[in-house]
């Protein structure tokens, strides 16, 4: 191969791969945030379920007295 072709590849490959890597970074970050939020919601539901079982009251509904 001629040296000009190698230089062109060395310059072109990062220019082509940077946007691809950036999009992957955004997608993986979004997946991570979605999993984190789902775990938090699951933990909140679990805590509310334990509280409901301990008090006998449904959360969000005022008991009739």
The DSSP 8-state label assigned to residue 38 in this structure reads H
**Cβ 57 vs Cβ 63: under 8 Å:** yes
pTM reported for the whole predicted model: 0.56
CA 42 – CA 50 distance, rounded (Å):
12
**Cβ 24 vs Cβ 30: under 8 Å:** no
What sections of 3-65 are H helices per DSSP? 3-55
* Per-residue pLDDT of the chain in tens (65 residues, 90 and over written 9): 799 999 999 999 999 999 999 999 999 999 999 999 999 999 888 887 776 666 655 555 665 65
């Amino acid at each position: 191969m001629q040296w000009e072709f190698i230089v062109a590849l060395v310059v072109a490959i990062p220019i082509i791969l940077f946007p691809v890597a950036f999009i992957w970074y955004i997608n993986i970050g979004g997946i991570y945030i979605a999993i984190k939020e789902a775990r938090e919601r699951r933990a909140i539901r679990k805590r509310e379920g334990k509280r409901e079982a301990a008090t006998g009251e449904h959360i969000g509904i005022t008991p009739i007295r």
